[in-house]
Chain A
Amino acid sequence: MKLIYEIGEEGRKLDLFPELDVEKYELKANKRNVELHLPHVSEQELSRHFTNLAKRTHGVNDGFYPLGSCTMKYNPKIDEEMAVLPGFTNVHPLAPVESVEGCLEVMETLQERLCKIAGMDAMTLQPAAGAHGEFTGLLLIKAYHESRNDKARTKIIVPDSAHGTNPASAVMAGFEVINIPSDDKGCVDLDGLRNAVGPDTAGLMLTNPNTVGVFDKNILEITKIVHEAGGLCYYDGANLNAVMGQCRPGDMGFDVLHINLHKTFATPHGGGGPGSGPVGCKEFLAKFLPGFTAVKSANGFDKKYADNTIGNLRTMAGNFLVMVKALTYITTLGKEGIKEASSNAVLNANYMRVKLSKTYHMAYPVTCMHEFVMTLEEEHKNINVSAMDIAKSMLDYGIHPPTMYFPLIVHEALMVEPTETETKEEMDHVINVLKEIHEKAEKDPEYVRSAPHTTVINRPDEVGAARNPIVAFKF
């Protein structure tokens, strides 16, 4: 397909702006001397170009999207409608506090409800994504130890099953990463953890359920070990959809966490963002929070800045319109709906796990939470069909594949997260498709190895792309 720069004609344009009604000002110096190439298209061409791009894009609305660890649930329409209300979109972030009461009410209400769900005492909505939240939470941990003049605490413990963002965030926050191995159930090895903690431990980063979809039943022992060593416990909220309304990170011994509004609270992913990664913490860390938090005041709402703030993780309040969507969602579901969502997320995952376990090998054949991991290691060895091949075959059925090759502790992994918003019929269909692909892989492995066969492109040359990078159109 042509790029927008390759269609249209010089001179074609949209009529958008009126004649200048004041004298024209000409820059005296620092003028641009190089040509600026931008598209020159009519509105009709522009509209059709992006409609064609939309046809080449698979969203949750196009079909099943069981991308493990990403919680690709249905994104309700009312959330989108509320987020484009002019009363929200036209508000300048630096407008006087008394003129932004509504925005502050959104923030204050959302902060409070997220605290209740997470079992935390305070919440910042400033971080713009999950990884941004991790970095924020780790800076809180760093500020805490520094405030106690406990300078030796320079290490963050991360299980080998963790999301790649965890160790990357720890390094950005100035910590050294200590990787600890998981046990044969994919859970934290308690002895390994006991050996790893010490006076240099700043904290532990963990998600529970973990990245293989298993709830670590030793969770209270784990957080106790870290606390007794003087470290703090960070909860990666990527998997909160499994447990919201069932149990709370704050009650499991975690001191600080981030939440992905774009996963758990149904705000869409937008092809990679914008997200929002609020960070919640216990009271003793609240004085370090960044930006401002919204608080109730005598006349309405106000901004409150923390006494020993770590600063600002970004300019302004955060991804405000994403907050509006999340608040709309939480208000809709309420206390019963939140629990119903996690219950069905876990039910759907187990339904698929059990139904598929006769055909595919489960990495951990136990009750899972919201997702489960299959391993194609044997198929890879025996018939030279990889997890990638199975995933690519699914594309021919209009199904987005599961997360591939993660977590790293499982070979040839496919991580399936159906979410609560799929019907039984849809899951039955996908289960049948996966069985059919497995059969094909045994009978005609080459067909599966060369999948997909029906998409607008087949497998792209990624090695070539990285070797000779073309990252912008050359005019």
Chain B
Amino acid sequence: MGRYVPNTKEEQLKMLNEIGYKDFDDLFSVIPDSVRLKDLDLPAGKSELEVSRIISEMAAKNKQYKAIYRGAGAYDHYIPSIVKQITSKEEFVTAYTPYQAEISQGVLQSIFEYQTAICQLTGMDVSNASVYDGGTAAAEACAMCKDRKHSTVYVSETTDPKVVSVIKTYCFGSNTEVKMVPAKNGLTDMDEAAKMMTEGAACLYIQQPNYYGQIEDAHKAADVAHNIGAKLIMGVNPVSLAIMETPREAGADIAVGEGQPLGLPIAFGGPYIGFMACVSDMMRKIPGRIVGETTDDAGNRAFVLTLQAREQHIRREKSSSNICSNEALCAMTVSVYLAAVGRDGLETVANACASKAHYLQKELEKIGLKKKFDGEFFHEFVTTSSAPADKILAALDNKGILGGLKLSDNEILWCATEKNTKASMDEVVATVKEVCA
């Protein structure tokens, strides 16, 4: 049996006796007999070597692809070595939420640096210390926009359906009405949005680039929302922000998104990180931890958790959200990643994503996979083909390549990142060509 209790059985008994208990049964005598567990139905404990074997065998059952062309919310980017090394430091890994500022300046400063990076990327004034993922960030952002006069949430149909589902689930909780704004040729139908949104509108949520990779007219979305007194929330891909206009420039009030592309492995869905940033007017509505800069008694620079009057441990049922634990170590990961790549590196990644996706799209078009939508795209695009999507993806799978995501019988959502080489993309095209022939 593996164990992490250091005290020996003899020591344990001695301690028990020293404080007046006969044995462990005596210590636990307060638990009523009727609920005392006779036998916990679990396998016996195991040595580290056995455990290592068991868990490693599970990992080995997963297929590892040599190349990935699937995104749809989880993006396969290169993670620099330094990112993994730094974020494995035991001090960072094993600390709790930095309640005691005097011995937590390291974690607090790292979150402040993260908040700064998110403000830089999005153009916003205020960022929180993170929420669970991009979906929860979107849902929390919708809640920020609600007040007595503004209660209906509008969400574009071009949003990732997984994010829509999270928004709807949160809104089921708060009894909030969610209305879907239809899409037209792969983009949010802004005219329809303007018609649909009425006095009680709290916000309009759009994704940029949207689920199909298409670049939305965010300025128009901002006008539509603001004309009716609602807020614009933009869900953005953080890598794209190196070259694309910031949500702030487009007129958004809140920017949120999935931070996974910034140094976190795809890892079957998590841990990921939701980032949230807003204009200063909404600072006191943003949920979760926020780190602020201050000084100590001696005038030294110091960092603390701040604006805590918003939070559950102070406000209880009147707090802006119930969030307590967030994704702090993932925030540090994002921070280290952005410091490692820098502005030029992030631009390189963003340009490589866009360039490779456009190369792949053109090459696929040559062999008959048509682009479904005409608008400009970033690093994802949808194709329609005469050959069934299943057949195309199976052929790629046989070559050890994870193809795009099947959207319907003949439609595939593709993604390319800096990790995909020209040689690999040529192999994709050659493989698909065989299927289509």
Please name all residues of chain A whose beta carbon is closer than 8 Å to the beta carbon of B302 when the two chains form the complex: 457, 460-461
Q: How far is the CB of B237 from chain A (nearest CB, A)?
A: 13
Nearest residue (CB) in A for B74 is A93
Please name all residues of chain A whose beta carbon is closer than 8 Å to the beta carbon of B317 when the two chains form the complex: 167-168, 170-171, 177
CB pair B292–A335 under 8 Å, yes or no, is: no
Nearest residue (CB) in B for A470 is B293
Please name all residues of chain B whose beta carbon is closer than 8 Å to the beta carbon of A103 when the two chains form the complex: 58, 62, 268
CB pair A128–B133 under 8 Å, yes or no, is: yes
**A-B contact number at CB 8 A:** 668
- Partner of B100 from A5, A38, A401 at Cβ < 8 Å: A401
CB pair A30–B7 under 8 Å, yes or no, is: no
- Please name 20 pairs of A and B residues whose Cβ atoms are closer than 8 Å in the assembled complex, sorted by A: A29-B215, A39-B342, A59-B90, A131-B323, A171-B318, A271-B332, A272-B98, A311-B166, A313-B169, A315-B134, A315-B269, A316-B74, A317-B268, A320-B269, A322-B270, A330-B42, A335-B43, A461-B294, A466-B292, A469-B126
Instruction: State in angstroms the CA–CA spacing of A129 and B345 once bound together.
Output: 33
Instruction: State in angstroms the CA–CA spacing of A98 and B63 once bound together.
Output: 8
Interface size band for B:
35 or more
Nearest residue (CB) in B for A338 is B40
CB pair B35–A215 under 8 Å, yes or no, is: no
Contacts A271-B107, A472-B127 given; does A461 touch B4 at CB 8 Å: no
Contacts A39-B342, A274-B327, A337-B3 given; does A469 touch B297 at CB 8 Å: no
* Residue total for A at the interface (Cβ-Cβ under 8 A): 193
Please name all residues of chain B whose beta carbon is closer than 8 Å to the beta carbon of A170 when the two chains form the complex: 317
Please name all residues of chain B whose beta carbon is closer than 8 Å to the beta carbon of A247 when the two chains form the complex: 31, 35-37
CB pair B59–A423 under 8 Å, yes or no, is: no
Q: How far is the CB of B107 from chain A (nearest CB, A)?
A: 4
Q: How far is the CB of A16 from chain B (nearest CB, A)?
A: 6
CB pair A50–B241 under 8 Å, yes or no, is: no
Binds B, one of A80-88, A225-233, A373-381, A435-443: A80-88
Q: Does A147 contact B (CB under 8 A)?
A: no
Q: How far is the CB of A227 from chain B (nearest CB, A)?
A: 15
- Partner of B422 from A22, A36, A169, A471 at Cβ < 8 Å: A22
Q: Does A298 contact B (CB under 8 A)?
A: no
Q: Does B314 contact A (CB under 8 A)?
A: yes
Contacts A27-B243, A101-B61, A456-B102 given; does A311 touch B169 at CB 8 Å: yes
A129-173 at interface with B (beta carbon < 8 Å): 129-132, 134-135, 138-139, 142, 163-165, 167-173
A239-281 at interface with B (beta carbon < 8 Å): 243, 245-248, 251-252, 262, 266, 268-275
Contacts A88-B267, A168-B319, A313-B166 given; does A461 touch B245 at CB 8 Å: no
Instruction: State in angstroms the CA–CA spacing of A31 and B84 once bound together.
Output: 31
CB pair B339–A39 under 8 Å, yes or no, is: yes
Q: Does A65 contact B (CB under 8 A)?
A: yes
A333-351 at interface with B (beta carbon < 8 Å): 333-341, 343-344, 346-347, 350-351
Please name all residues of chain B whose beta carbon is closer than 8 Å to the beta carbon of A315 when the two chains form the complex: 73, 133-135, 160, 162-163, 165-166, 258, 269, 272
Task: Knowing that A168-B315, A247-B37 touch, tell me 20 more A-B residue pairs with CB under 8 angstroms.
Answer: A21-B421, A38-B339, A56-B109, A59-B93, A72-B94, A102-B61, A103-B62, A129-B323, A132-B323, A168-B312, A174-B174, A271-B329, A272-B325, A272-B326, A321-B265, A336-B44, A400-B100, A457-B105, A462-B101, A471-B126
